[in-house]
Structure 1
Amino acid sequence: MTAIAKQTDAKSRTAPQTGIGWLGIVRMGTVQAAIGAMVMLATSLFNRVMVVEYSVAAAIPAALVAWHYAVQITRPLWGHKSDQSRSRTPWIVAGLSILACGSVLAVDVTIMMADPGIGTALLAVLSFTMIGFGVGMSGTALLALLASRVSTARKPAAAAISWTMMIAGIVIAAGLSGAFLDPFSEPRLAIVTSIVVLVAFCAAMLALRNLERDNPPVAQQNAKHDQQSFPDALREIWKDGEARRFTFFVFISMLAYSMQDLIMEPFAGFLFAMTPGESTQLSSLQHSGILVGMLVAGLGGSLYAKRFGANLKLWIVVGCVGSAIMLGGLSFAATQGVAWPLRANVFGLGMMNGVFAVAAVGAMLGLASRGRGSAEGARMGVWGASQAIAFGLGGLTGAVLVDQLRAFTGQDATAFQIVFSIEAILFVAAALVATGTTLVRPTQKEGAFA
């Protein structure tokens, strides 16, 4: 019986794993939704309350949001630590705990903005530092877990499900908190936001329960990475030409993606005379397009994985070039005014953004497991840090460029034209960088090819 047991155990270790099932992927998506819901409070709701209710200069919450992105440069470290540990779940739980505490502290800081002082400023920096650390730690370990547990054929759909659920978490949290915040009061703000944090945290804990234990990695982990130091891990990643090229792609594409964040609604207001309500609906339309694009790329990438080799490169290039074309349309719209079909253009931009974003995340999940050994956490951390830096720079750069160009040229249309054109050029550059990277290299067993 002992010999038979040993033989069975040896076979189980060498047999290829089929990867986590769809329910497990949805459970990981639930954790992403929880992260999105808590981050939404800091980056959207608290920002609005500080500026509108307490008349705080808009630069202050903008700087705090940028700081939470800057803190995420630590993502490679958290990913490396999760690579070295026996389990990634404790890192996800620790990150979620820090994120939840930072979000609750940020509520108190927001209320204190009614009468700010040095103590308020220090607590504000502390709370957004905790939010940045929490997002970086939990998000990186979660993506590494997803990369190591999902088969190659399912990775495009897994990326779509995960990111769609994250956006759904943001939308649901925003909708519910907005519905219960009126009439506004400080106690109501504290209660509503604390409930959002509590529900999100508990949902994530339930989704994580025994998830990692019951789903072994698709490929066995290389013990080499258990002994690597953090600098050695970074050097090995940077020596990998494909990983390095993909890092550049992530930075350029996310820089282009985020430059529009803070200027789309002002663009609609200045040149299309839209009211705040109408411009908010335009933003909602764009996010609807993103969801459609994510589903198209995710389902398409998985349905045709065996036939076309899960060619995520094709989806990335289509999404980037399509985004560039749509931004070119917005640049032209600046000269046409209300005669231009702005809503259709913005929906198309969102759809192309969604296509490239999900394809990029799917490629990221695949590339994370293609190093010498596993080291999914360290690789995910490097790309996550690149994305966070690009997001922080992109939003700020887009807004500053528009302001400076409006002041220099004296023409709103010209300012927006130039910025949208720069974004389009960046998307084309990202597509060119992506074409030089082999994004998918599935095994012959899975029936796909690069």
Structure 2
Amino acid sequence: MTLSWFQIFRLGLVQMALGAIVVLTTSTLNRLMVVELAMPAVLPGLLVALHYGIQMTRPQWGFASDTGGKRTRWIIGGMVALAVGAFMAACGILVLANSFALGMVVSIIAYALIGLGVGASGTSLLALLATTTVPHRRAAAATITWLMMIFGIAMTAGIVGSLLDPYTPALLLRIVGAVVLSAIVLTIVAVWRIEEKLIAVREPDLTPFMEGLKEVWQERKARNFTLFVFLSMTAYFMQELILEPYAGLVFNFTPGESTSLSGAQNGGVFIGMLTVGIMATGFKIGALRNWVIAGCLGSAAALGVIALIGPMGPGAPLMPATVALGFFNGMFAVAAIGSMMALAGEGREQREGTRMGLWGAAQAIAAGFGGLIGAAMVDLLRIPLSDAQAFGSVFIFEALLFIAATWMAAKIMERPAQAPVMVPGE
């Protein structure tokens, strides 16, 4: 028995809950550390890098799913760990204002829990999708759930941004508490009894984890795609920790305004994904390879604009430029996701979860590395340069990485010999 479309949409609610929590930790709390607490950008960069670094365990979560692990247990348990970590991270902001040492201890524990929660819940969910969705629906299933995650990110950032002004610590805790509790309830409702009705693994696989991972790494397509994911996602995430501080320091955005900026960016991502889905499915225009290339080049151009308007200061069109960046990011991401789910079923059977875990780990490492490098570069460049010049230089470097990812995509992604994989408009 395989997943129905209704069940796919239900599982997408888990991705939406994941996105709703994660956006608070990577955007809102990050901005509060850098602007309100006047801490170096590299500090939240290290914390976010910690949560991404812990997600290197993703292949093992996926492998456990391949060998018959109970996915529902890991999905719900991971969401609870993520929720507890996010609330602790918000508490850490309050403690940091009075005690740096104690605040860092609380924050380190919190971001470690966040990494474990995302890794366990997210990878187990993708493994469930990959092993219980019929092959011709895999790309569509991944796209639907990813669009729902982006919707959760954009909606949460927009609502939280409107509620957070005027900012107070007590208000922050109330908002974060409401978000994480809602995410747990939504996850339980979304996965309730779905797995009981499905047979995701036909028979036990007793292959040791490292041997199974080695088998996947020896597959040329899986290995090359892993390298592409790392490069492109490094470019994708370099702005994650510096865009809101950029808005606050250079354009005088308030905490609520900069959180809304993040929401608008993810709204652009959603529209970009939806556009590719409609064009590829409804009008059958363009192959996934071409959409990836167009998205990378468009992202590079949008980053160039964001860098160039810095000297204009308050009043510059940062919002539309950020929405454009989100739009092209969405184009690139949805095409890459479609390719990922199509490739997940290629090669040795019962390794779908391991492949998804491998690519998820590459994305997590790139996200932590990209975010940390971006924040560290800003801190170093702000010493000899103005804020606008320092942030702008990092955005230009990120644009160059997107251009390099374009070249790599053109090299490793095969030109279609038939109609492209179609994805609807997670």
Relative to the length of structure 2, the TM-score reads 0.84
Which of 229, 245, 252 lines up with 2:208 in the alignment? 229
Residue 401 of structure 2 corresponds to 426
Q: What whole-Å deviation, never above 9, does each CA across 1:142-187 have from its counterpart, x for those lacking one?
A: 1122222334444444333222221222334345555666676655
Among all aligned residue pairs of Structure 1 and Structure 2, give the percentage whose two residues are the same amino acid.
43
Which of 230, 236, 252 lines up with 1:275 in the alignment? 252
Residue 294 of structure 2 corresponds to 318
Which one-letter code corresponds to 1:396 in the other structure? Answer: L
Which one-letter code corresponds to 2:96 in the other structure? Answer: M
Which of 33, 37, 45 lines up with 1:62 in the alignment? 45
Residue 248 of structure 1 corresponds to 227
State how far apart, in whole Å, the 2-side matches of 1:60 and 1:339 are: 29
State how far apart, in whole Å, the 1-side matches of 2:354 and 2:87 are: 29
Which one-letter code corresponds to 1:70 in the other structure? Answer: G
Cα pair distance change 1:20/1:302, threshold 3 Å: farther
Residue 124 of structure 2 corresponds to 141
Which one-letter code corresponds to 1:228 in the other structure? Answer: T
Unaligned runs of 5+ in 2: none
Residue 40 of structure 1 corresponds to 23
Cα pair distance change 1:335/1:197, threshold 3 Å: closer
State how far apart, in whole Å, the 2-side matches of 1:185 and 1:337 are: 26
| Number of residue equivalences | 420
State how far apart, in whole Å, the 2-side matches of 1:115 and 1:338 are: 31
Residue 303 of structure 2 corresponds to 327
Structure of greater relative contact order (alpha carbons < 8 Å, 6+ residues apart): 2
Larger Rg over CA atoms: 1
Which one-letter code corresponds to 1:347 in the other structure? Answer: V
8 A contact 1:289–1:351 mirrored in 2: yes
8 A contact 1:156–1:297 mirrored in 2: no
Q: SS where residue 197 of structure 2 aligns?
A: coil
Deviation at 1:114, TM superposition (A): 4.1
Residue 82 of structure 2 corresponds to 99
**CA RMSD in angstroms, aligned pairs only:** 3.6
8 A contact 2:296–2:402 mirrored in 1: yes
Deviation at 1:54, TM superposition (A): 5.9
Residue 7 of structure 1 corresponds to none
Cα pair distance change 1:323/1:21, threshold 3 Å: same
State how far apart, in whole Å, the 2-side matches of 1:57 and 1:113 are: 13
Unaligned runs of 5+ in 1: 1-16
1:284-303 superposed matches below 5 A = 284-303=263-282
Residue 178 of structure 2 corresponds to 195
1:42-441 superposed matches below 5 A = 42-49=25-32, 59-116=42-99, 118-177=101-160, 188-216=171-199, 221=201, 223=203, 226-265=205-244, 274-277=251-254, 282-303=261-282, 311-330=287-306, 344-408=320-384, 410=385, 415=390, 418-437=393-412
Cα pair distance change 1:147/1:438, threshold 3 Å: farther
Deviation at 1:252, TM superposition (A): 0.6
Of stretches 122-131 and 201-210 in structure 1, the one that deviates more from structure 2 is 122-131
8 A contact 1:154–1:302 mirrored in 2: no
Of stretches 176-185 and 367-376 in structure 1, the one that deviates more from structure 2 is 176-185
State how far apart, in whole Å, the 2-side matches of 1:439 and 1:154 are: 20
Q: What whole-Å deviation, never above 9, does each CA across 1:392-411 have from its counterpart, x for those lacking one?
A: 12122223334434544x46
8 A contact 1:269–1:275 mirrored in 2: yes
Q: SS where residue 276 of structure 1 aligns?
A: coil
8 A contact 2:150–2:267 mirrored in 1: no
